[in-house]
Amino acid sequence: DNVRACAQGVADYLKQTGLAHQGLIVGYDNRFASEDFASAAAEVIAGNEIKVYLCPKATPTPVISFGVVAQKMGGAIIITASHNAAIWNGFKYKSEFGTSAPSEVTAKIEGNITHTLATGKINQMPLAKALEQGMVEYLDLTPGYSHR
């Protein structure tokens, strides 16, 4: 599954750069299957022993970017195709600064994804188990953004 491979690439990047201990926000938009893809990404990040803060509802990208900075996270995964057609979807990584990842970061993540696809090794923890063990926690970022 492409979403899981991409999430594994991000998890590997966070571990390689020492950002894993800060945790990661996973958010999504209202497009078809976005919530399911976000859950799949959260399962992989949690399976890599990285704390996930999962948005409980569709959340705009600027709110998630704000949350990364306000909560001092290692970054964010956002399931969205942004300005593209409604029938599309996409996978974005936001840096620990809440910004789009620079090309050198995306190159490292792409290399990790290529390695993941070659080996087939994707760490996963079922969402229910991750929630039970505290590896995934729901976090609504909207109130903090609205009151800033």
Tokens of 39: 């859950």
Catalytic residue from among 34, 39, 65, 82: 82
Read off φ and ψ for residue 114, nearest 5 degrees: -60, -45
Write the burial class of residue 135 (CB in 10 Å: 0-12 exposed, 13-18 middle, 19+ buried): buried
Q: How many CA atoms lie within 13 A of 20 on its CB side?
A: 19
- Which of 139, 121, 147 is CA-nearest to residue 59? 139
The neighbour count for residue 3, using CB atoms within 10 Å, is: 20
Pairing between strand 91-94 and 76-79? antiparallel
From CA 73, how far away is CA 95, in angstroms rounded? Answer: 9
Which residue type sits at 108?
Answer: K
Active site residue 146: no
Report, as residue numbers or ranges, the catalytic residues: 82
